[in-house]
Amino acid sequence: MASLSVIGAGYVGLTTAACMADLGHKVVCSDIDRDKISLLNHGQISIVEEGLAELVAKGRESGNLSFVVGAESEVDRAEIVFLCVPTPQRIDGSADMSYIVAAVSSIAPLLKPGCIVVNKSTVPVGSTTVVEATLSRGDILVVSNPEFLREGSAIYDFMHPDRIVIGSDDQGAAIRVASLYSKINAPLVTTDPSSAETIKYASNAFLATKLSFVNAIANLCEAVGADIRDVILGMGYDRRIGFEFLKPGPGWGGSCFPKDTQALVKIAEEGGYDFKLLKGVLSANNEHRDFVAKAICDMARVSSPGPAKVAVLGLTFKANTDDLRESPSIEIALKLAKENKKVVAYDPTITPKILGRLNQVVDQDMNGPAGSIQPELVRLIEAGVELSLDPYAVCDRAHVVAILTEWDEFRWYDYDKIGKSMASRAIFDGRNLLESANLKRLGFNYRGIGR
Ligand code: UDX
Ligand code: UDX
């Protein structure tokens, strides 16, 4: 069992640390965010991720998992260090490596000889060399081991991966990193670092392409009177296509797909290749969000030629996470507000504490630091979008209800009760969650995606 250091306790780092501890390794997870570490040391986690709180508790109890502020105090004991810090998108679309470089610079003099540094963060092709240069230590090897963790099922994905990818020019280092996963039964792809980094980008970009395609087919279905659900069924049985990642929606988002596809376009550009296909995938996604916002506005106009209220159900970029980064729902809510709709929104992850803190932040100073509040919420408030803790209250006097995240609870609401409180019965079901026949029976003007 190995002694590991995981730098960054975000969605990726915390999952990696907790799962590695569960596999029997001794893991110290660090973060520069004192509040995050303080919470973790009190047995609490600051993100919504199924099973993670329990796994963290199990790791702490077994003594395999502990948390510290800053990696410097503990990294000298590590045999292998995982970098799980953010690589946000810069204005030109490229990935910002400054967090990686800062983290690596701070640990470089402290690492013990023979230690391996693993890039888990999604980093541009060639970053292994950047980390090596920043380390400037001939006695330390750098390996690429990209993550394929979906928020909401990150632990499952870690423990049951479709594959484990390891990129290294040193066979011994690759074997040492691979052995950390020896209890996991999955195909192992060992390759050079640049190929491993490209695998990560190509996988996310391919999935994003699949989604832009299926959303376009959904729009086509509407135009020609076909039903996307049957079309997907007919396509998915073809094993070359499969059923996964074929659900149409209001567009794809999250902390990875948008930045990784943008970054791949940029990486290609720097390599002298104009990745027109991927540019099309990105613009199709933006246009699809416009298309959805317009469809909701059209429904609102039918319900009320004058001022209209839209109730937005769901703000996170998908269900089973509290992550609002690049959420299509947020973008669409902002577009609706720009079209002078009164927008009131509900999401199951918005708690009274978050709302209280948000009001405090907004009252104090609109431009001040938002602390633990996700900036997307501040953007909504600034645009005049109201947030509520009660989904039924959100729908009260609304002209359209727009479901934009696939939270399961939305299926089970009493839509007759909702209809009675609405100004007119209209539902835009951006995730095809509801049975249209039931809604129509209740007198709703119902519109889904591609049906
Ligand atoms: C991030 C990247 O976005 C993703 O591309 C990459 O694959 C893995 O890391 P995520 O875990 O979702 O994904 O990021 P986030 O939730 O923002 O967590 C990063 C954590 O790193 C934060 O808690 C931050 O405080 C911490 N951090 C950042 C450090 O500990 N040290 C730093 O120098 C910078
Ligand atoms: C993604 C990758 O899937 C994962 O391997 C890792 O690299 C991190 O990034 P994540 O961003 O957590 O995971 O979410 P994912 O489940 O991939 O969904 C991304 C977006 O696509 C979401 O907005 C989601 O709603 C949308 N989506 C997904 C659909 O619209 N339809 C689908 O069928 C699947």
pLDDT above 70 for 370 = no
DSSP state of 250: S
Q: Assess whether 288 and 426 both reside in one domain.
A: yes
Cα–Cα distance measured from residue 1 to residue 7, given in angstroms and rounded to the nearest whole number: 19
pLDDT digits (tens, 9 = 90+) for 267-287: 999 999 999 999 999 999 999
pLDDT score, position 363: 80
- Residues within a 6 A CB radius of ligand 2: 148-151, 204, 207, 211, 245-247, 249, 252-254, 256-257, 317-318
Q: Are residues 248 and 125 in the same domain?
A: no
Task: Examine the domain organization and report whether 186 and 234 are in the same domain.
Answer: no
Segment 197-231, tens digit of pLDDT: 999 999 999 999 999 999 999 999 999 999 999 99
Listed residue (201, 195, 430) closest to 317, CA to CA? 430
Centre of ligand 2 from the C-alpha of residue 348, in Å: 19
Q: Say how far apart CA 7 and CA 403 lie, in whole Å.
A: 37
CATH number for the domain spanning 19: value is: 3.40.50.720
Domain end marker among 191, 213, 243: 191
pLDDT mean over 338-360: 95
Residue 368 has pLDDT above 60, yes or no: no
CA-nearest residue, atom 26 of ligand 2:
252
The sheet carrying 426-429 orders its strands as 386-387, 342-346, 309-313, 400-403, 426-429, 445-447
HSE at residue 166, side-chain half, CA atoms within 13 A, is 26
The pTM (predicted TM-score) of the whole model is 0.95
Residue 373 binned pLDDT confidence (cut-offs 50, 70, 90): confident
Q: Are residues 53 and 156 both part of a single domain?
A: yes
Mutation to probe ligand 2, out of 212, 257, 331 (largest number of atoms < 8 A from CB): 257
Phi-psi bin for 340: left (phi > 0), alpha (psi -120 to 50), beta?
left
Atom of ligand 2 nearest to the CA of 208: 21
Closest to 336 in 3D by CA, of 295, 394, 366: 295
How far, in Å, is the centroid of ligand 1 from the Cα of 353?
Answer: 24
Please check whether residues 300 and 153 belong to one and the same domain. Answer: no
Domain check: are 262 and 159 in the same one?
A: no
Residue 436 CA to residue 207 CA, distance in Å, equals 28
The backbone region for 164, taken as left when phi is positive above 0, alpha when psi lies in -120 to 50, beta otherwise, is: beta
In this structure, the residue with its CA closest to atom 10 of ligand 2 is 150
Pick the catalytic residue: 115, 256, 297, 395? 256
Q: Are 298 and 174 within one domain? A: no
pLDDT at 371: 57
Distance 119 CA to ligand 1 centre (A): 12
Query: Is pLDDT of 442 > 70?
Result: yes
Helix then strand count (H, E) for the chain reads: 17, 14
Q: What is the pLDDT of residue 361?
A: 85
Per the CB < 8 A criterion, the answer to whether 345 and 331 are in contact is no
Is it the case that residue 364 has pLDDT exceeding 90? no
Residue 372: pLDDT above 90? no
Same domain, 421 and 281: yes
Ligand showing the shortest atom-to-Cα distance for residue 161? 2
According to the model, what pLDDT value does residue 365 have?
A: 60
Number of the ligand closest to the Cα of 208: 2
Task: Kindly state whether residues 114 and 59 are assigned to the same domain.
Answer: yes
Question: Are 401 and 257 members of one domain?
Answer: yes
Collapse the DSSP code of 399 into the 3-class scheme (helix H, G, I; strand E, B; otherwise coil) and give the result.
Answer: coil
Assess whether the C-beta atom of 17 lies below 6 angstroms from ligand 1. no
Average pLDDT, the chain: 96
pLDDT tens digit sequence for 302-326: 999 999 999 999 999 999 999 999 9
- If you take atom 22 of ligand 1, which residue's CA is the nearest one? 10
Residue 19 CA, ligand 2 centroid: distance in Å:
21
96 is in which domain, residue-wise? 3-191
Specify whether 255 is located in the same domain as 395. Answer: yes
* Res. 369 pLDDT band, cuts 50 70 90: very low
DSSP annotation of 90? P
**Ligand 1 pocket, residue 299 CB under 6 Å:** no
- The continuous run of DSSP H or E covering 21 comes out as helix 11-22
Q: Is the CB of 204 under 6 A from ligand 1?
A: no
Q: What is the pLDDT of residues 59-90, one digit of tens each?
A: 999 999 999 999 999 999 999 999 999 988 88
Which of 139, 170, 191 lies at the terminal end of a domain, its last residue? 191
Residue 29 bears catalytic tag: no
Residue 108 is classified by DSSP as G
Q: Answer yes or no: is 196 within a domain.
A: no
Same domain, 113 and 242: no
Q: Ligand 2 mean position to 50 CA, how many Å? A: 16
Q: Which helix (H) or strand (E) is 81 found in, with range?
A: strand 80-83
Q: Do residues 430 and 250 make contact, with C-beta atoms less than 8 angstroms apart?
A: yes
- State the ligand closest to the CA atom of 11: 1
429 strand-pairing partners:
403
CB atoms within 10 A of CB 279: 15
- What integer pLDDT is reported at residue 130 of this predicted model? 93
Task: Using the 3D structure, point to which of 173, 191, 209 is the last residue of a domain.
Answer: 191
Overall number of domains in the chain: 2
Is the distance from CB of 308 to CB of 401 less than 8 angstroms? no
